[in-house]
Amino acid sequence: MSGTRALAGVDGCRGGWIAALERPGEACALLVAPRFADLLAALPADAILAVDMPIGLPERIDGAGRAAEIAARPLLTPGRRSSLFSIPARAAVEAGAGPFADAAARADAYRRVCARAREASEPPRAVSIQGFGLFPRILELDALLRAEPALARRVFESHPEIAFARLNGGEAMRHSKKRGGRVHEEGAAERRRLLMAKGLPPELLSAALPRGAGEDDRLDACVLLLVARRLARGEATSLPDPPERDGFGLPVAIWA
């Protein structure tokens, strides 16, 4: 349990952000909030959050992504590595802020993003369309952390598959949790078993899903709640160690 501090594992979802919450004296619960600021407002000011969203955007990228991604990738099997997107330099992310008026505007923005990403990386690298889809939420979180730097002392970047591997004795999950755009039950069941073995209540994993979230989102938020527990106990470690910093002083590290 979290002791005296509220904890949250947070993942992006269709409805905004899903959080698996653990508050002193209360049962664990799920919450979907449209904005990250709404989620923060629903929690005490000292709550610790582990979030599946990149934090810290370097001005340039040398090699296969941010230092955090390079350090974390070896912990995943080849089949799981596609879940860890290579995030480009800040200028490229900011070029994909949105919103976009239509599909043509979105396609134009994607081309601009790829051009900026190539200009600010060595070797030149474009951006995956999946990574591009994260940019509005990356920038939403980035704006909050830059406006209130103290948040970076309790809002930490994590990654679900890295977290599952760390909790599983360093072994990545055998099965994907999604296949063909749908939840893959064998992979979902594998993760549920590990989450319960590590102390999450079965009720959290079987409760009705909040509107705007899927089963894969729930699993990710729940494993990140366990990362938040590790952070609260001082047991979590960063990749890389120590974290790097971007030009605004934000940490560039994946915690697990």
Containing structural domain, residue 160: 7-55+155-184+195-233
The chain-wide mean pLDDT, for the chain, equals 94
- Asked whether residue 225 is domain-assigned, the answer is yes
**80: pLDDT strictly greater than 80:** no
Query: Each residue of 147-168: b (16+ CB within 10 Å) or e?
Result: eeeebbebbbbbbbbbbbbbbb
pLDDT of residue 65: 84
- Asked whether residue 30 is domain-assigned, the answer is yes
Query: Each residue of 70-89: b (16+ CB within 10 Å) or e?
Result: bbbbebbeeebeebbbbbbb
Q: Which of 17, 1, 15, 26 is nearest to 53 (CA)?
A: 17
pLDDT of residue 194: 98
pLDDT of residue 2: 53
Confidence band (pLDDT; 50, 70, 90) for 78?
Answer: confident
CA separation for the pair 130, 5 (Å, rounded): 34
Furthest CA-CA distance within the chain: 51
**82: pLDDT strictly greater than 80:** no
**79: pLDDT strictly greater than 70:** no
Mean pLDDT confidence for 102-119? 97
Q: Residues with Cβ < 8 Å from 249, sequence gap 6 or more? A: 149, 152
- Asked whether residue 163 is domain-assigned, the answer is yes
Q: SS3 for 61?
A: strand
CA 97 to chain centre: 18
Confidence band (pLDDT; 50, 70, 90) for 155?
Answer: very high
CA separation for the pair 181, 191 (Å, rounded): 18
pLDDT of residue 54: 97
- Asked whether residue 26 is domain-assigned, the answer is yes
pLDDT per residue as tens digits for the range 157-179? 999 999 999 999 999 899 988 88
CB burial class (10 A; 0-12, 13-18, 19+) of residue 128?
middle
- Asked whether residue 249 is domain-assigned, the answer is no
pLDDT per residue as tens digits for the range 174-218? 998 888 888 899 999 999 999 999 999 999 999 999 999 999 999
Q: Report the share of the chain in percent with pLDDT over 70.
A: 98
Give the pair of three-digit tokens for residue 2. 């979290």
Mode of pairing for the β-strands spanning 178-179 and 121-122: unpaired
- Asked whether residue 70 is domain-assigned, the answer is no
pLDDT per residue as tens digits for the range 33-46? 999 999 999 999 99
- Asked whether residue 64 is domain-assigned, the answer is no
| Overall domain count for the chain | 1
Residues 218, 13, 157, 95, Cα dihedral to 10°: 170
DSSP 154: T
- Asked whether residue 169 is domain-assigned, the answer is yes
Q: Residues with Cβ < 8 Å from 158, sequence gap 6 or more? A: 9, 50, 51, 52, 224, 227, 254, 255, 256
Mean pLDDT confidence for 90-108? 95
